[in-house]
Chain A
Amino acid sequence: MTALVLEGRLDAAAASSLWERTMRAASAPVAIDISRVTYCDGAGAALVLAAAARARAAGGGEIIGASEDVGAVIALTRKGGEAAATGQVVARPPESLALVVGRGAVNGARGMGDSITFLGEAISATVLTVLRPWTLRWDDTMRHAEEAGTRALPLIVMLGFLFGLILAFQSAIPMRQYGAEIFVANLVAVSVFRELGPLLAAVILAGRSGSAFAAEIGTMKVNEEVDALTTMGLDPFRFLVVPRLIAAIAIMPVLIAAMNLAAVAGMSTVMMSLGFPLVAISNQVVSWTSMGDVIGGVAKGMVFGAVVAGIGCARGMRTGAGPRAVGDSATSAVVGGIVSIVVLDGIFAVIFYLMGW
């Protein structure tokens, strides 16, 4: 019988370059002669076995001349191949639309159920804590308030100042055409106090602290710390969620006040550069804004704070297993938080309109 002779070092590199030629040559009734093979690894053995299988179909396929070492590698590779004979790399067929929609609906309903359960447990734990304030973990609450509040202040002030500055510049140009530049002060103050201050402060809270809450609690979940709390008879809600919720609600008025003041300072800088004295600017602001604007904005912001912290904690508590789980929770906390506050802001706009504010 004719022999197909392989020789030299039969490693992954050699197997790659020889594969097609060897398979073509093995399409005839030949024996596979490996007596001159000096080294063979898993890829080389796969080449020899594949060539033998191809030749066997044509009536040949005997492997001859294997040294002890090379023969052992080929035998082990063959044994592994036989054990995993059914393993195939198959492309997954695309899922049907009905399956995708059905799974989405089930997951959506399950997620909504989880959210409602979480909301109920969070409200009940928070109410219980408010009724019995000595049960609150004050140290943790203060730490979260410092992290979410004090450390966010430089960012809040910088963004608020720039926002007021940009808004004033942009609105001064069209207002100048009507000789109404002085009303830029009113426009910036009202829009920041009522709308943009709370909204921007909440977006920053979602980006900085909502993600941090989800990641912290998610990591604790992955490390079994949440399970440890449960088996110690400690309520994870009162231990982990309530301090973060209360901290977020408590620091929102401070963040909103800082944002508002910084935005007014930014606007004043622009107005003074246009030649308006500070006293005229402050007169415009004071006479055109009411306490209702400020209180409405702050109240709205506190609700935003609770929602951002609640979503962050809920995503953390629902963290799954695996290396991506904590990252996924943090991402979904930010996205969920921002979407929720914008939706809520719309609802507040309608409520305030109906109330005549």
Chain B
Amino acid sequence: MVPEIPPARGDRVGPGPEAPKVIVATGLTQRFGSNTVFENVSFDVREGEVFVILGGSGCGKSTLLKLLIGLRRPTAGAISILGEDLLAADGEKRRLLLRRFGVMFQLGALFGSMTLLENVLLPLESFTDLPAEARLAIARSKLGMVGLGDATQKLPSEISGGMVKRAAIARAMALDPPLLFLDEPSAGLDPITSAGLDQLILTLARDLGVTFVIVTHELDSILTVADRVIMLDKAARGMIATGDPRELRATSTQPTVRAFFNRIAEAA
């Protein structure tokens, strides 16, 4: 049975092809020794878009994300982010580029010895000359924005998994980056918390115009938040589909894409 599109998406329409491109990935190939994870993956992400990288386990989604955020160099290919060549940037130029986007890691990656407020304050203290009072106000407002206004003094170990991910989004947004990367935001969360996180992503995209690049394989989340997706496949060692996920679900004739969107188990 085809899952219904969750109602949270409303009448959202993603930016059209005329929108400026914030990420352009060309011919990305990643190999580990003789094992090719994917090759010749090319795509672009438009400003204001919620862009999802999806695929089954082991297809290279998280590896692709690591390439995009500069934690790993691809075996071949080029990546342009916010108009800068990510792979050519080094030293201070690279650090400046990294500060222009935020990342939420799969486990949140909040600093365990700091409160939520201190976690969000860290990038503000490190990279701005704002007075302490202003930094505090900004950090509080970011936490309030993700629904953690009453948990500012808590440590990461004192809050739930969903709250950790919200706090990680608040920290990633601290410097108001135009681009946010989220790694498996729904992983390990119950359906209600996961739906709340989807709603938050849509709200931030609509109200702040933030561009999201999200790695996930949660079908409900994909159908709710994604304007456009690319699908990676382990067997094909690369990209097998790109486009509006609702259209792909309805019209794709590619067997793996159909199986993914219609929840058909391979082993059956």
Residues of chain A whose beta carbon lies under 8 Å from any beta carbon of chain B: 219-220, 223-225, 227-228, 230-235
Contacts and interface: CB of A to CB of B under 8 A. Distances in A.
B56 interface: no
Given A224-B105, A227-B105, A232 B98 contact: yes
Given A230-B70, A230-B71, A233-B99, 16 more contacts: A220-B111, A223-B112, A224-B105, A225-B112, A227-B71, A227-B105, A228-B105, A228-B109, A228-B111, A231-B70, A232-B99, A232-B103, A232-B126, A233-B95, A233-B126, A234-B122
B103 to A, nearest CB: 4
A233 B127 contact: yes
Contact of B107 (A223, A231, A232, A233): A223
Interface of B: 69-71, 95-96, 98-99, 101, 103, 105-107, 109-112, 122-123, 126-127
B103 A231 contact: yes
Contacts of B127: 233
Contacts of A220: 111-112
A223 B109 contact: yes
A220 B110 CA distance: 9
Contacts of B103: 228, 231-232
Nearest to B71: A227
B234 to A, nearest CB: 18
Nearest to B105: A224
A147 to B, nearest CB: 11
Interface of B is mostly: loop
Contact of B109 (A227, A233, A235): A227
Contacts of A232: 98-99, 103, 122-123, 126
Given A231-B71, A232-B123, A225 B111 contact: yes
Contacts of A219: 112
29 contacts: A219-B112, A220-B111, A220-B112, A223-B107, A223-B109, A223-B112, A224-B106, A224-B107, A224-B109, A225-B109, A225-B111, A225-B112, A227-B71, A228-B103, A228-B105, A228-B109, A230-B71, A231-B69, A231-B71, A231-B98, A231-B103, A232-B99, A232-B122, A232-B123, A232-B126, A233-B95, A233-B98, A233-B127, A234-B126
Most buried by A among B101, B109, B111: B109
A228 B105 CA distance: 7
Contacts of B71: 227, 230-231
Nearest to A227: B71
B139 to A, nearest CB: 14
A233 B127 CA distance: 9
B34 to A, nearest CB: 17
B120 to A, nearest CB: 11
7 tightest A-B CB contacts, nearest first? A228-B109, A233-B99, A224-B109, A233-B98, A233-B95, A224-B105, A231-B103
Nearest to A228: B109
Contacts of B99: 232-233
B247 to A, nearest CB: 32
B109 A230 contact: no
Given A223-B112, A225-B111, A230 B105 contact: no
